Amino acid sequence: MAKVKKQPRPKAQTPKGFCDYFGAEVAERTEMLTKIAGVYHRYGFDALETSAVETVEALGKFLPDVDRPNEGVFAWEEDNDWLALRYDLTAPLARVAAQYRNDLPSPYRRYAMGPVWRNEKPGPGRFRQFYQCDADTVGASSVAADAEICAMLSDTLEVVGIPRGDYVVRVNNRKVLNGVMEVAGVLDPSDPDRFASERGIVLRAIDKLDRLGVDGVRALLGEGRKDDSGDFTKGAGLSAEQAEIVMGFMDAKRDTGTATVARLRELVTGSKVGGDGVAELETIAELLDAGGYSSDRIEIDPSVVRGLGYYTGPVFEAELTFEVTDEKGRPRNFGSVSGGGRYDDLVKRFTGQEVPATGVSIGVDRLLAALRAKGRLDTVAAGPVVVTVMDRARMADYQAMVAELRNNGIRAEVYLGNPKNFGNQLKYADKRNSPAAVIAGGDEFDAGKVQIKDLILGAEIAKNATLEEWKDRPSQYEVPRDQMVAKLREILDSQS
């Protein structure tokens, strides 16, 4: 009889491009999302939660690679239809705005938070699953809606801990870029689909300016570029003259917003759509200035284009301007943590009618990484108070203690491992980063008392104090049982 082949054990490893997140990391994200939601809510936006799965048809042709319907997304076929994990939170909003258009107010102002998935090549700091935090206004054609989004983004960054001077919200208009491409001969107003592929490459190339530099972008505008790994990216195939017109647009930023707008107006001379875009930028600048958002917070910058193809007007991006050290020890600017813009044609795909919309998306994980890099996050979260177990027969009494602590708002747990070795219980409390431990055996129960050990103070004394100082600074206290909660509050308050 043939021997049955033993099945190999599965590998205990995270799939490539994905991460596991533990207690402190999850708590940090939750706190940040709460702060962001507070700003969005204050601006009058309502929460929306959509399905994590959409039809590929609903996601549309706005992915990094558009040759195949499921390129760039995690997709599968079911009942002769293609489904995919959502690529962002904007395409689901467009579907919702179309599906519930008779029930929603107009304009509809919503915010959404949650994970999105991208089937792209992972790299340092680039994951296939990450959190986004979006806010959008659907149904408002006025660029006042775009200006409001920029102001809200500025306020949000400051609320989560990025002070003024450490960030800038940069604003541009895709209509201006379309005007430049019309002047360069890669946009035909009478045939919008002509040169569509070339324009897509141009947009993505400009969007990579901070990462690839001028030479890298110029290569992508021409024949293409090979990266350090040997992978080749096809270029837009522009002539040298056409490429220089586009490069001139990227170099149009001047010392003031007024001067930048004037230069942009020169570049789009002869293009109606370009002239419209410049006028919209002027209006946005006026509205922001009226609200107190000067160029130290929000500025006009032609290099911002955003890579996705559905943007139709103003686009914006939040960049953190402080330096961090990369994996090779080199200083660099942290870079972009948020972006968005106007996408008036996205809902039209469902309804056949143009529905104006504008919004912004914050990369929560990148923003957390930025705060961590600046030392503005408490990377070690406090654990629960641990009620140790000295006598298994008194487990009901220990459970009564922990219930009392929880009912008084103190995070606490009973040690549920093997209580035979008391030292292991304190090691467990240390590993949990517990602020204190409650200790009670037969003698304490008989006397109606408990021992409370300040684990944080004890660790500091052991690390820094001499033997004499140890005697003068006790880290363990014996208190009556009915004073357990009060003493723990006193210890926790002193630690904070």
Residue 306 annotated in ligand binding:
yes
Beta bridge mates, 359? 136, 341
CA dist 271 and 393 (Å) reads 85
Provide the 10 A C-beta neighbour count for residue 155: 16
Mean pLDDT of 299-321: 85
For CATH 3.40.50.800, the residue range(s) in the chain are 385-495
The pTM assigned to this predicted structure is 0.81
With a cut of 80, say whether residue 56 has pLDDT above it: yes
Each residue of 108-165: pLDDT tens digit? 999 999 999 998 888 776 789 999 999 999 999 999 999 999 999 999 999 999 999 9
Q: Look at residue 457 and tell me whether its pLDDT is greater than 50.
A: yes
Q: Which of 79-93, 329-343, 467-481 has the lowest mean pLDDT?
A: 467-481
Confidence of residue 2 (pLDDT cuts 50, 70, 90): low
Asked if residues 318 and 337 have their Cβ atoms less than 8 Å apart, the reply is: yes
How much is the pLDDT for 59? 84
Q: How confident is the model at residue 67 (pLDDT cuts 50, 70, 90)?
A: very low
Q: What pLDDT sits at residue 94?
A: 92
Per-range mean pLDDT, top range of 61-70, 164-173, 467-476:
164-173
Average pLDDT over residues 93-97: 94
Mean pLDDT rounded to a whole number for the chain: 88
Q: Is the pLDDT of residue 489 over 50?
A: yes
The annotation status of 118 as a binding-site residue, yes or no, is yes
User: Minimum mean pLDDT among 92-106, 128-142, 242-256, 262-276: which range?
Assistant: 242-256
Model confidence at 64: pLDDT above 60: no
In degrees and rounded to multiples of 5, residue 385 shows phi and psi of: -65, 135
Q: How far, in Å, CA of 139 to CA of 132, rounded?
A: 22
Average pLDDT on 10-25 reads: 91
Range from 90-99, 151-160, 199-208 carrying the lowest mean pLDDT? 199-208
Residue of 226 and 326 predicted with greater confidence: 226
Say if residue 334 is exposed, middle or buried (CB neighbours under 10 Å; 0-12, 13-18, 19+). Answer: buried
Residue 470 CB neighbour total at 10 angstroms = 13
Q: How confident is the model at residue 15 (pLDDT cuts 50, 70, 90)?
A: very high
Per the annotation, does 90 bind a ligand?
Answer: yes
Q: What percent of the chain has pLDDT over 70?
A: 93
Residue-wise burial string across 377-404, b where 16 or more C-beta atoms lie within 10 A, e elsewhere? beeeebbbbbbbbbeeebeeebeebbeb
Could you tell me which CATH number the domain at 385-495 has?
3.40.50.800
pLDDT at residue 392, rounded to an integer: 92
Binning pLDDT at 50, 70 and 90, where does residue 70 land? low
pLDDT band at 66 (very low <50, low <70, confident <90, very high): very low
Q: Which of 4-13, 29-38, 290-299 has the least mean pLDDT?
A: 4-13
Domain 23-186+248-373 -> CATH class: alpha beta
In DSSP terms, which residues pair with 114 in a beta bridge? 132
Which regions of the chain carry the CATH code 3.30.930.10? 23-186+248-373
Identify the pLDDT of residue 65.
44
Task: Tell whether omega for the bond before 64 is within 30 degrees of 0, i.e. cis.
Answer: no
DSSP string of 2-48, one letter each residue: PPPPPPPPPP--PPTT-----HHHHHHHHHHHHHHHHHHHHTTPEE-
Quote the pLDDT of residue 309. 64
132 is in an annotated binding site: yes
131 is in an annotated binding site: no
Predicted confidence (pLDDT) at residue 69 exceeds the cutoff of 50: no
242 C-beta neighbours (distance < 10 Å), count: 20
Q: What is the pLDDT of residues 337-370, one digit of tens each?
A: 999 999 888 888 899 988 999 999 999 988 998 8
Q: What is the mean pLDDT of residues 391-396?
A: 94
Q: Is the pLDDT of residue 71 over 80?
A: no
Strand partners, 450: 479
